[in-house]
């Protein structure tokens, strides 16, 4: 048999797939669709790393598998190419961010092709392509017309060093101070006039529709917590000696008789106007200190701080005077920015009250010391005396509404999306301001409003983006009237909020208009996305904003599905060999290029899928890569055995068991156990030293999604089949071969049941151990432990003994 020259073979098949466009999405409606989506990468200078390869291989396996099952598969790729990293590189080097970005894209594309990923490259896009952001601008116009895009004075995270507003996920806390993730420049809170998207209008739907999707529960919970719905009441407290009043939101209006002070956020608009002259300097100093903290840091800080304003409020039911304080644990962007403090029944209020010597009044009979936060009988509480919490809350809200001093209310942690960035490298807003500040929009037929070329893109120094320096572009004259363009650009998340739709609309002629009937038909055909794979870091950023835009598209009639992504899987991080997160600074990062050269793409793909469950963290191992290469060499040499016209009877049971197991595992994305089963099958072939033509081709189909280059080569050059595996029919097992020789194997870890497996009777002990040790739940309970021994009772039980390593 010819030598397995993986470098030559892999290049051959990659060129073949590209030249013939074999992964191009079909337009017919005769086959069920299957849309497999990757979270598209930011094309950084460092190129792809092995973590990218893990997720991209997983989706490629599924897309190849589904194609062989008869689905019309859409599996595209693009580039999330606007954003701060390219801008900072350009500032540091003086180079053009556009040319730098497209050089990186070219390198990323090369790497993806060399890993053997079956992509419909006719659907390729970049958010920086003018034809793409033409529609991003078009979408912004629809949001504006629907009242969902508004200009507001909002408090933002301002970074002077970077000259731009930063999102919360672009900020770190160092020594209790906010700094930018890139460069560690100081960040402060600052009010600025910004474009804001009113995502809060969709808060309830974003919560309720989570029940429609198959997502990891922890990710759903992250979104629920980020949206943070709370039900309760707004209650008005009049300020003594003033016509003003403070509205507080509380989830516990039943505790109103226990209020002993009111807390305002340092950003509350009434703070400076109600503060007494004696306390003014102290209050101003505290406000300045608060600006240096992030909201997350303010909530998490266990050391309560605050200052007295010198002002008092009137209790709405007793008319007693209550001191008004400001404290940074009270956030302006949650509720009303004001809190009625009930220290006897709230831990945070209690800690504050004890620190500053404020009164504590019990109004619910509890057990032990304050604060009591459980359900109990109310006393000293007027009309709700003798009632437990739920009934007391409802009765008190009714009472407050009847007296017109309060009302039922829901509030959310979710804030409207600050959509302006003071950067050059982003989508320009299709907005014009006349000399009076009136807004008009660039007409649709004049889009895209292209980003002007600037030789130098340093911040303007005025708080505006570098676009303030593009004077010819900035001040157009239209029909004899002078205008000014918006100097802000859109955030990076703008382009990624609809790219999954853009893939569907993309053709050789450009993009179908989103509001066209033709677009509606094709979107209804392919949406929602069937499988979306990516990291958890996008849980409350991209995933939330994409869901928001999708619901707007639904309301506008552009799409028929309520949710964009039906099934979502978060792949686990690949760690360095030292079990720490890979990074260049640690010197433990791994690029795929060298390993594709030394071992081949198929070996790299197989190794990454065999490392463990897709969702788990896994340490990199060069030894493991060697093992993957050895297995593929073993498959290649298997074709030296006699290949018979008829099926080899000794292999029929394991063959059909393998079809069943691999099919089920591919459906579950349990690629590691699918590989274990295929290894067992190869071992059986080596024992028999022969295999039937039907059996060997069926096996190649099973392995093809993981190792596509080698299996296509064997299929074409050794078996002389001219029907390529990628468009062949997926094997179907015969249940008759499964019944007689299967037994249930119980797997225990330290005596506790962790798995039940259906295996071939009298399977060799080494194969039994392999199946048991690679089961997902067993891996979960052995990870991080030393395996002391593995005890196998044939056909019955495997007991794995572990101890702390």
Annotated binding site: 584
Q: Helix, strand or coil for residue 802?
A: strand
Structure tokens at 201: 């209008």
Q: How many helices (H) and strands (E) does the chain have?
A: 26, 34
365-393 burial, b for 16+ CB within 10 Å, e for fewer? ebeeebbbbeebebeebeebeebebeebb
DSSP for 728-772, written as a single string: SPPP---GGGTSTTEEEEEEEETTEEEEEEEEETT--HHHHHHHH
Q: Which residues are annotated as a binding site for ATP?
A: 584
Count of beta carbons in the 10 Å neighbourhood of residue 239: 19
DSSP for 665-690, written as a single string: HHHHT-HHHHHHHHHHHHHHHHHHTE
**Residues in the chain, total:** 805
Work out whether the CA dihedral 112, 118, 122, 126 comes out positive or negative.
negative
Structure tokens at 45: 């200078």
Count of beta carbons in the 10 Å neighbourhood of residue 765: 11
Q: What are the φ and ψ backbone dihedral angles of 606, each rounded to 5 degrees? A: -65, -40
Alpha carbon distance 121, 18 (integer Å): 8
Residue 39 near residue 534 (C-beta atoms within 8 A): yes
Alpha carbon distance 83, 459 (integer Å): 15
Give CA angle at 175 (170, 176), nearest 5°. 70
Alpha carbon distance 319, 315 (integer Å): 5
The torsion defined by the Cα of 423, 429, 435 and 438, in degrees rounded to 10, comes to -130
Q: What are the φ and ψ backbone dihedral angles of 162, each rounded to 5 degrees? A: -95, -10
CA distances from 461 to 20, 180, 411, 467, 487 (A): 52, 18, 38, 11, 13
DSSP for 460-485, written as a single string: -SSSS-GGGG-HHHHS-EETTEE-EE
């Amino acid at each position: 048999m010819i030598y397995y020259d993986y470098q030559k073979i892999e290049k051959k098949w990659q060129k073949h797939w590209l030249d013939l466009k074999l992964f191009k999405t079909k337009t017919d409606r005769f086959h069920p669709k299957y849309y497999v989506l990757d979270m598209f990468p930011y094309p950084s200078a460092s190129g792809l790393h092995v973590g990218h390869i893990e997720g991209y291989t997983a989706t490629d396996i599924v897309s190849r598998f589904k194609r062989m099952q008869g689905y019309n598969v859409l599996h595209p790729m693009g580039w999330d190419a606007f954003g701060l990293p390219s801008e900072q590189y350009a500032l540091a080097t003086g180079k053009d961010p556009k040319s730098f970005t497209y050089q990186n894209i070219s390198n990323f594309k090369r790497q993806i092709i060399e890993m053997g990923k079956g992509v419909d490259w006719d659907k390729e896009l970049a958010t920086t392509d003018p034809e793409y952001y033409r529609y991003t601008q078009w979408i912004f116009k629809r949001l504006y017309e629907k009242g969902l895009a508004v200009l507001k004075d909002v408090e933002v995270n301002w970074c002077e060093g970077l000259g731009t507003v930063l999102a919360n996920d672009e900020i770190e806390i160092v020594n209790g101070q906010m700094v930018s993730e890139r460069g560690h420049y100081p960040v402060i809170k600052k009010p600025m006039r910004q474009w804001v998207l009113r995502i809060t209008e969709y808060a309830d739907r974003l919560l309720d529709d989570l029940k429609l999707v198959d997502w990891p529960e922890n990710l759903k919970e992250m979104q629920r917590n980020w949206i943070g719905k709370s039900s309760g009441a707004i209650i008005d407290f009049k300020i003594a000696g003033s016509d003003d009043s403070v509205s507080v939101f509380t989830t516990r209006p039943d505790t109103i008789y226990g209020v002993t002070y009111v807390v305002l956020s340092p950003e509350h608009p009434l703070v400076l106007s109600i503060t007494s002259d004696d306390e003014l300097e102290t209050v101003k100093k505290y406000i300045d200190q608060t600006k240096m903290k992030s909201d997350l840091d303010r909530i998490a800080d266990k050391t309560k701080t605050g200052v007295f304003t010198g002002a008092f409020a009137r209790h709405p039911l007793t008319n007693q005077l209550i001191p008004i304080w400001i404290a940074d644990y009270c956030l302006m962007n949650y509720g009303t920015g004001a809190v009625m403090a009930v220290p006897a029944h709230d831990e945070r209020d209690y800690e504050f009250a004890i620190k500053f010597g404020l009164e504590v009044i019990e109004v619910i009979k509890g057990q032990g010391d304050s604060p009591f936060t459980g359900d109990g009988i109310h006393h000293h509480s007027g009309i709700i005396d003798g009632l437990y919490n739920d009934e007391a809350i409802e009765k008190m809200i009714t009472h407050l509404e009847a007296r017109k001093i309060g009302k039922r209310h829901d509030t959310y942690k979710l804030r409207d999306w600050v959509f302006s960035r003071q950067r050059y490298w982003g989508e320009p807003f299709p907005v014009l301001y006349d000399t009076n500040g009136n807004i008009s929009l660039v007409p649709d037929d004049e889009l895209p409003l292209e980003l002007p070329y600037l030789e130098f893109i340093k911040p303007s120094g005025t708080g505006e983006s570098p676009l303030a320096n593009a004077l010819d572009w900035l001040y157009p004259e239209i029909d004899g009237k002078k205008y000014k363009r918006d100097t802000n650009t859109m955030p990076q998340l703008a382009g990624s909020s609809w790219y999954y739709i853009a893939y569907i609309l993309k053709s050789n002629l450009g993009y179908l208009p989103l509001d066209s009937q033709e677009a509606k038909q094709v979107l209804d055909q392919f949406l929602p996305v069937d499988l979306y794979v990516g990291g958890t870091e996008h849980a409350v950023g991209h995933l939330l904003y994409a869901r928001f835009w999708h619901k707007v598209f639904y309301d506008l009639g552009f799409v028929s599905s309520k949710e964009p992504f039906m099934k979502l899987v978060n792949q686990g991080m690949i760690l360095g060999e030292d079990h720490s997160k890979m990074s260049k600074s640690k010197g433990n990062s791994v690029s795929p290029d060298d390993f594709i050269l030394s071992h081949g793409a198929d070996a790299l793909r197989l190794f990454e899928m065999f490392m463990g469950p897709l969702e788990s963290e896994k340490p990199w191992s060069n030894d493991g890569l060697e093992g993957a290469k050895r297995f593929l060499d073993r498959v290649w040499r298997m074709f030296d055995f006699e290949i018979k016209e008829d099926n080899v009877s000794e292999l029929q049971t394991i063959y059909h068991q393998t079809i069943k197991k691999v099919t089920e595992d591919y459906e579950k994305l349990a690629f590691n156990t699918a590989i274990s089963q295929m290894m067992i099958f190869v071992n059986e072939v080596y024992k028999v030293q022969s295999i039937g033509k039907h059996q060997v081709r069926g096996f190649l189909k099973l392995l093809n999604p993981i190792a596509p280059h080698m299996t296509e080569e064997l299929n074409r050059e050794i078996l002389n089949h001219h029907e390529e595996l990628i468009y062949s029919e997926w094997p179907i097992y015969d249940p008759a071969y499964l019944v007689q020789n299967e037994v249930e194997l119980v797997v225990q870890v330290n005596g506790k049941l962790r798995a039940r497996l259906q295996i071939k009777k009298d399977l060799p002990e080494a194969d039994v151990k392999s199946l048991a040790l690679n089961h997902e739940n067993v891996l979960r309970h052995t990870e991080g432990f030393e395996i002391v021994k593995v005890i196998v009772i044939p056909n019955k039980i495997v007991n794995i003994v572990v101890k702390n390593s």
